[in-house]
Amino acid sequence: MPDADQNNQNPMSAVILAGGKSLRMEEDKSLLMVSGLRLIEKIARDIGPYFREIIISSNRETMDRLSFLPYRAVVDKEPNQGPLRGILTGLQASAHPVNFVMACDIPEINVPFLQKMMTFTGQYDIVAPVTGEGKYEPLFAFYHRRLIPAIETLLEQGVRKVIELYPPHRVKYIPMEARDWYYNLNTIEDYRGYMKDKGALLTITE
């Protein structure tokens, strides 16, 4: 598989959002063990070859727990404002105009799908997946740094939903036709189900 960063004239950054409270998981989901690594380590390893830099967008409560990571970590200036604030923090810290933003609870990456999304980043402000049911995945999407003023305005107005950023901007929605690879580990049941599925897959392929 070719290196997406090398094949793109404009290098990109990746921002991993790790500032949530993991309330439904009842423990820091970024530190769950997957394939012998902490989940956030696995994510960074899997996407690392495709981006010039990786940024961890966090908060003061989780910074110490993530200090083992060899990546730059940035902290939200205003706490408890949700992922929209985390996206802003990451974009402000980024060295590149185009940024892939993903949550720290998505353990698998479909590289061909990621590369397909990349091909549209030069034409749009946002490139985001959408399922056949019209459900968006704003925390597995590309955002341009020129969105920073708009995000700041939304946060000042008390808006917290990431999807509220979309309507005024140029957005490319990419259908996520195959979803068997896509997991969100929000609860311990999600984690157990994923590990069970992963174990079954490994048994089949061995």
3-state secondary structure of 73: strand
Q: Is residue 60 part of a domain?
A: yes
Q: Is residue 39 part of a domain?
A: yes
Length of the chain: 206
pTM of the predicted structure, to 2 decimals: 0.89
Mean pLDDT of 97-123: 95
- Indicate if the pLDDT at residue 2 is higher than 60: no
Give the pLDDT score at 5: 46
Distance CA 39, CA 45 (A): 10
Domain of residue 181: give its range: 8-205
Give the pLDDT score at 22: 54
Q: Is residue 111 part of a domain?
A: yes
Q: Is residue 92 part of a domain?
A: yes
Contact between 194 and 106 under an 8 Å Cβ cutoff? The reply is: no
Q: Is residue 156 part of a domain?
A: yes
What is the domain-level CATH number for residue 58?
3.90.550.10
Q: In total, how many domains does the chain have?
A: 1
> Higher confidence at residue 73 or residue 60?
73
Q: Is residue 1 part of a domain?
A: no
| 15-35 pLDDT, tens digit each | 999 976 655 666 788 899 998
Cα end-to-end span (Å), the chain:
22
Residue 202 — very low, low, confident or very high, per pLDDT cuts 50/70/90?
Answer: very low
Q: Is residue 2 part of a domain?
A: no
Q: Is residue 99 part of a domain?
A: yes
Question: Which residues contact residue 86 at a Cβ distance below 8 angstroms, ignoring those fewer than 6 apart?
Answer: 15, 17, 19, 57, 76
Give the pLDDT score at 172: 97
Give the pLDDT score at 24: 60
Mean pLDDT of 119-147: 93
- Indicate if the pLDDT at residue 197 is higher than 60: yes
Q: Are strands 140-144 and 126-130 parallel, antiparallel or unpaired?
A: antiparallel
- Indicate if the pLDDT at residue 7 is higher than 60: no
